[in-house]
Structure 1
Amino acid sequence: MKDSQLTVTAYDWVPGFAQGHVRDLRVRWALEEAGFPYDVEVMAQGTQKKPAHLKRQPFGQIPTLEIDGQTMFESGAILWRIAEASAALLPDDAAARDRVLSWVFCALNTLEPPVGMLATLELFVSDKDAAARLRPEIAAAVTGVLERLVVALGDKPHIVGHFTVADIVLTTVLRDVPDDLLADLPSLRAYVDRHTARPAFQTALAGQMTLFAENAAKYERAG
């Protein structure tokens, strides 16, 4: 993959609450860690639902990754494909790889859905009274999962041996956990801080945020 032509799709701008959290960040981070050069195809808001993009992403979402003209979608699948091509993101040992794969799916299937429900309540449910009634129950579910993650992580710096693609997925999901839920879980706060301090993450984040800053004015005028 290092010598392939790689292109990531990304929005030119999103509202403030989503900036730094759009999932092309995961893909950019993995590519930066792997040392794989890539281009970014910038998409204006609204164009993601047009036929050209729906051909490569049936649900009109971001990101996709084009590899020598062949397109993949779903950030988890894309990250695993990158990891398979990079010694930096997967261990050599087969058993350790299986553990990494398990943690990737854990992040996507066990942790991310309830975290996403909290975000939906806060940002997209118009009935704020209903959202306030539901939040404690959802927050308790998230906290329960986080507490099990604390036990599994223990005092390790990474979830499986050295830094892997599982840490990328877990970190990007944990960044979306509200601060009040992480406040009493210092090992997870430190885990996130440790991984977001990595140069590859900082480069990926800067790439995403620069696009938003460059294109903000046209959306402000449109609004």
Structure 2
Amino acid sequence: MISTITVFERSPDGGKGLARDTRVRWALEEAGQPYEVRLVSFAETKKPAHLALHPFGQIPTYEKGDLTLFETGAIVFHIAEQHAGLLPEDANARARAITWMFAALNTVEPPILDLVTARIVEGNRSWSEERLPLVIDRIRARLEQLSTRLGDADWLDGAFSAGDLLMVSVLLRLRMSGILDEYPNLAAYVARGEARPAYRRAFAAQLAINAPTTC
């Protein structure tokens, strides 16, 4: 039975790999699992059919048999539990990898998303220029801690895991800001993630949907 994920028919980022379906695609590719996609428009995500799959009207969703999931962390965790390649067999190492999954989404990603809000949503507010440095400082504080923990290791805890998959996906959001370049070991860490064949396949699949059409 093949899983189906919902993705935007046109991603806001134009296929640069920042849409959250890329994380799910990457996990499926790492696990060697085929999948199908169902394209939806932004308007369709707010309609009853999609809201039945995702109560908050977002993407992606994951369907396989009678199971429907939403939230990328939950989907990636499910894939990692069902298939080899994303979680270690050793119980303690497995628990640590899961911890890094939570850390990526709950500790590192929120201030990074706040930067997007500060620049795009709040950029025209009178207080935006004063708030922006505070947001960037919070990001740097997290990156400093993460950089120290990673050190010169290739991955966060031994072999590549779902924790690295989510952490790399989160850090990719900083590339355009230039902040990531201030931490060479984290920039190299992200580059290693992007170099993985499974990531390249996931990225190419998402980009193909967003590629300009020619007559």
Q: Which of 180, 198, 202 is the matching residue for 2:200?
A: 202
Aligned-partner Cα distance in 2 for 1:156–1:14:
33
SS at match of 1:9: strand
Q: Which of 86, 108, 113 is the matching residue for 2:83?
A: 86
Amino acid corresponding to residue 180 of structure 1 in structure 2: G
Please give the root-mean-square deviation of Cα atoms over the aligned residues, in Å.
1.8
Aligned-partner Cα distance in 2 for 1:71–1:152:
35
SS at match of 2:157: coil
Q: Which of 139, 144, 149 is the matching residue for 2:146?
A: 149
- Partner of 2:111 in structure 1? 114
Q: Which of 137, 143, 158 is the matching residue for 1:140?
A: 137
Amino acid corresponding to residue 213 of structure 1 in structure 2: A
Superposed counterparts of 1:57-72, under 5 Å: 57-72=54-69
How many aligned residue pairs are there? 214
Asked if the contact 1:12–1:211 (Cα under 8 Å) also holds between the matched residues in 2, the reply is yes
Q: TM-score, normalised by structure 1?
A: 0.90
- % same residue: 42
Superposed counterparts of 1:175-190, under 5 Å: 175-177=172-174, 178-190=176-188
What 5-or-longer segments of structure 2 have no aligned partner? none
Aligned-partner Cα distance in 2 for 1:18–1:121:
22
Asked if the contact 1:12–1:215 (Cα under 8 Å) also holds between the matched residues in 2, the reply is no
- Partner of 2:171 in structure 1? 174
- Partner of 2:191 in structure 1? 193
Q: Which of 3, 10, 25 is the matching residue for 2:7?
A: 10
CA drift at 1:47? 0.4
